[in-house]
């Protein structure tokens, strides 16, 4: 779940209440504040993940998530732009599905710290059915890549390094 408009914490709280009416929510992560991705000129996001059980099919689950977004006030906007609430289906058991309206597992989750950090808090043992590694491992790999992008330079400032 993500939000960067209005009362962001309240948006997430309301989303959990909405989801609880349709799904059995079994775990909820801490909330993370994150920089926007893709369109950088927008407010910071609050992100959170939850685990839920349902008897719905994967497509019906997606339809319910879209219905919940609308019920919470989400209006159409630019892709990756500001939004009141965003509810994504990351995994559906170990289903692998690629169709025009639904891709499971979520095709970008392994690249997104704003997804992997909260997901790792509540479900580190889930194995990505395409990549064959756990959420914990995906999170560690992403953290390692980020560390390699920014490294301390030995000697510090003014040493001619």
Pull the structure tokens for residue 34.
């994150």
Tell me which residue has tokens 């319910």. 64
pTM of the model: 0.87
Residues 36, 39, 43, 48, Cα dihedral to 10°: -40
Q: State how beta strands 50-53 and 32-34 pair.
A: unpaired
- Which pLDDT belongs to residue 14? 97
The DSSP string of the chain is -EE-SSSHHHHHHHHHHHHHTTSEEEEEPPPEEE---SS-SSPPEEE--EEEE-SS-HHHHHHHHHHHHHHTT-----TTS--S-B------TT--EE-SS-EES-TTGGG-HHHHHHHHHH-TTPBPTTT-SBHHHHHHHHHHHHHHHS-PPTT-TTS--
Q: Give, for all 161 residues of the chain, the pLDDT tens digit.
A: 999 999 999 999 999 999 999 999 999 999 999 888 877 888 999 999 999 999 999 999 999 999 999 999 998 888 877 899 999 999 999 999 999 999 999 999 999 999 999 999 999 999 999 999 999 999 999 998 877 665 555 555 544 44
Residue 158 makes CB contacts below 8 A (sequence gap 6+) with none
Task: Please state whether 92 falls in left (phi above 0), alpha (psi between -120 and 50) or beta.
Answer: beta
- Burial class for 82, CB neighbours closer than 10 Å (0-12, 13-18, 19+): middle
- Complete domains list, the chain, with CATH: 2-149 (3.30.70.560)
- pLDDT number for residue 92: 98
Q: Which pLDDT belongs to residue 66?
A: 96
């Amino acid at each position: 779940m993500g939000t960067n408009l209005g009362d962001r914490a309240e948006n997430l709280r309301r989303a959990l209440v909405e989801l609880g009416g349709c799904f059995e929510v079994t775990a909820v992560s801490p909330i993370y504040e994150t920089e926007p991705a893709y369109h950088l000129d927008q407010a910071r996001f609050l992100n959170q993940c939850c685990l839920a059980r349902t008897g719905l099919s994967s497509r019906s689950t997606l339809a319910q998530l879209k219905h919940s977004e609308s019920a919470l006030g989400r209006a159409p906007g630019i892709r990756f732009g500001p939004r009141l609430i965003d509810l994504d289906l990351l995994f559906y058991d170990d289903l692998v599905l690629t169709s025009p309206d639904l891709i499971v597992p979520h095709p970008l989750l392994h690249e997104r710290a704003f997804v992997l950090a909260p997901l790792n808090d509540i479900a580190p043992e889930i194995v990505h059915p395409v990549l064959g590694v756990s959420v914990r491992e995906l999170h560690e790999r992403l953290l390692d890549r980020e560390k390699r992008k920014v490294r301390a330079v030995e000697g510090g400032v003014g040493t001619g390094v």
